[in-house]
Amino acid sequence: MSAAAGVAGAIVTLTANPSFDRTVALPGPLERGAVVRVEAMTSQAGGKGVNISRAAVAAGLPTIAVLPARPDDPFVHELEVAGIDCRPSRPAGDIRVNLTLTEPDGTTTKLNGPGAAVATEHLDDLAAALVSSAAGGAWTVLAGSLPPGASSDYYADLVARLRGVSRVAVDTSEGPLAALVDRLPGAAPDLLKPNAEELASVTGGDAAQLETDPALTAKAARTLVDRGVGAVLATLGARGAVLVDAHGAWHAPAPPTVVVSTVGAGDCTLFGYLLAEQRRLDPPDRLALAVAYGSAAAGLPGTTIPGPDDLHPERVVVQQL
């Protein structure tokens, strides 16, 4: 098998704007202007796609992580040590740093770096690495922000290129999400995972209302399914998630969880759905496993990815809408 070949049944992830994720645990509420002695600080190679690949390794699924980095970068080495098949492409510069501040009550503040500005040749190399790695894979996940210099249409273009190669899931926001929705059904992914704010931004709804009203969330998500999206998995924070596909709509509230850090919870929710789909579970059970993964992640510190022993899908109650 060549270095660029795909892996049968793999979950292939693209992290176009990877980051070293540094998490600072505060001893109390954040006080602006104060000097604070932190309780703990961690650093991990991260990004939304990377988080999904970590979850796949923990669940025993094959995965490939595609990202812009030098092959000898410590970022790549960390992923390889973690058991992730990493496919780096030519980077435009150093990997950015994202800083997360967590308070004891679960409040999370994120300070995200912009990333290195890319040129067309960097994006072309990244796309080529992704398409070749996706061959034979079960799912390809386009996740997170795009680096400075990338067109907002980049994900929409990739969805079109990946048709016939792999099923595609997309988890992004702002310009890339708007561009994708503008190009429906031509750029319709098999799965779209917005949160309430992201869903509202492309359907004209009110994010606060969607967050509290699963039926309204389902109605908004239905407009995207009607335009060609295979399924919409809308995350609602502590209120769980809503799943809408061509056959129905379901809501699963999050089970009682002591929230430690919400960083990566949405990524784990998406992975839980993909894992359930790999197991050929029906839509309600896919939603249950997705919410179980997201809740487990929220109960763990920093960007800790839950493993099978952390999950309790039996505590998730799914309701048809």
Query: Per the structure block, which two tokens stand in for 76?
Result: 């790549």
Sheet of 63-68, strands arranged across:
85-89, 63-68, 11-15, 139-143, 167-171, 191-192, 231-235, 241-245, 248-252, 319-320
Sheet of 40-46, strands arranged across:
40-46, 19-25, 96-102, 108-112
CA distance 190 to 29: 41
Residue labelled with tokens 């969330």: 217
CA distance 193 to 273: 10
Q: How many beta carbons lie within 10 A of that of residue 219, not counting itself?
A: 17
CA 248 to chain centre: 23
Please tell me which residue in 267, 282, 285, 310 is annotated as part of the active site.
Answer: 267
CA distance 273 to 41: 30
Catalytic residue check, 282: no
The amino acid at residue 224 is L
Residue labelled with tokens 């429906």: 184
Query: Per the structure block, which two tokens stand in for 288?
Result: 């249950």
Cβ atoms 25, 38 nearer than 8 A? yes
The four Cα atoms 79, 81, 87, 89 give a dihedral, to 10 degrees, of: 70
Q: Mapping DSSP to helix (H, G, I), strand (E, B) and coil, where does residue 177 land?
A: helix
CA distance 260 to 258: 6
Q: Mapping DSSP to helix (H, G, I), strand (E, B) and coil, where does residue 252 land?
A: strand
Q: Which residues are catalytic?
A: 267
